[in-house]
Amino acid sequence: MSHNLERNSLGIVGRPALLLVDMINGFTSSRCPLGTDCPEVVAANARLLAAFRARGLPVVFTTVVYHRDDQAKVFRARIPALNCLTPDSEWVQVDPALQPIAGELLVEKQWASSFYGTELDAELKAMNVDTLIVTGLTTSGCVRATVVDGLQHDYVVIVAEEAVGDRNAEAHAANLFDMHAKYADVVKVDDVLHQLP
């Protein structure tokens, strides 16, 4: 017997921010061992970025950068390819199609969640953000970790479906299902655009 929990779709509440999780060359290019070519995900992010900029709404990017050997050492021991994400590498740079402009925040992180060990929550609170529109890579990894932590920091979280991606289609679908059931509204990019204040 299946029990479906009742859940409420909250939609955009108050002031939304766009959070582009790890839309960096290391993840958007198959030339990097961590990455996969995903032009459709990049294009969906570009649409959202243009809409947020046109309305003067907050935009935040994240990247993964390791400055020292002792940062996230267990994570890196599990996934040695992460060691290419050094400050001077092209892989930590935001994808050329989505370059931050003046006034947009770029948060450096070392773990999966954009909140863990970063100033993201304080920065969002300073911008009076209530709702996070989360995009980026990968659905089953850093996106999911960020979505769960976003909820745990009391933000309304919305995942823009076509603007997230994963190299594994089954993991992508399963994580979208889980996030929508528990932590966030998973909605189409067009629906996000229609709801923007």
Which residues are tagged catalytic? 142
| DSSP three-state, residue 138 | coil
The Cα–Cα gap between 135 and 97 comes to 15
Q: At what angle do helices 169-182 and 144-152 cross, to 10 degrees?
A: 10
Ordered DSSP codes for 14-30: SSEEEEEES-BHHHH-T
DSSP per position, 148-174: HHHHHTT-EEEEEEEEEE-S-HHHHHH
Name the strand (E) or helix (H) holding 97. none
